[in-house]
């Protein structure tokens, strides 16, 4: 079993990680029941168990997506057509008597 804290591979018979000492049981987030490693559903309430995955850090120096140059040029040259039409409206609120 892979330790949820340090990702060290441990034999299936261990209760604690050989590297960091973390408990190797899956605790149900709904009822707090301790399930065996590898269980997909809680043995007490049936809640689906998913191992927690840490989010990978975001590198802000490299954008995840970009607007292609031909599309950016089109947007910049036809900005008024994209913005649409603006209208002045008046809103009246009815008073309750």
∠ CA 56-57-62, nearest 5°, is 115
pLDDT of residue 82: 64
- Kind plus residue range of the DSSP H or E element containing 71: helix 69-77
Quick one: average pLDDT of 4-29? Answer: 85
pLDDT band, very low/low/confident/very high, at 73 (cuts 50, 70, 90): confident
For residue 10, being part of any structural domain is answered with yes
Q: For the whole prediction, is pTM greater than 0.85?
A: no
Domains held by the chain: number: 1
For residue 20, being part of any structural domain is answered with yes
For residue 66, being part of any structural domain is answered with no
For residue 13, being part of any structural domain is answered with yes
Answer whether 42's CB lies under 8 Å from 28's CB. Answer: yes
For residue 65, being part of any structural domain is answered with no
Answer whether 61's CB lies under 8 Å from 74's CB. Answer: no
For residue 69, being part of any structural domain is answered with no
Structural domain including 3 reads 1-53
By three-state DSSP, how is residue 48 classified?
strand
CA–CA separation, 31 and 4 (whole Å): 19
For residue 72, being part of any structural domain is answered with no
What is the per-residue pLDDT across 74-95, written as a single tens digit (0 to 9) for each?
877 876 666 667 788 888 888 8
């Amino acid at each position: 079993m892979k330790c949820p804290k340090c990702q060290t591979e441990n034999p299936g018979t261990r209760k604690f990680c050989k590297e960091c000492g973390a408990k190797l049981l899956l605790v149900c987030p709904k009822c707090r029941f301790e399930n065996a490693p590898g269980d997909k559903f809680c043995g007490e309430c049936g809640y689906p168990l998913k191992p927690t995955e840490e989010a990978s850090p975001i590198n802000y120096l490299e954008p995840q997506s970009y607007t292609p140059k031909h599309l950016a040029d089109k947007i910049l040259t036809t900005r008024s057509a994209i913005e649409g039409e603006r209208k002045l409206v008046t809103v009246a609120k009815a008073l309750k008597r």
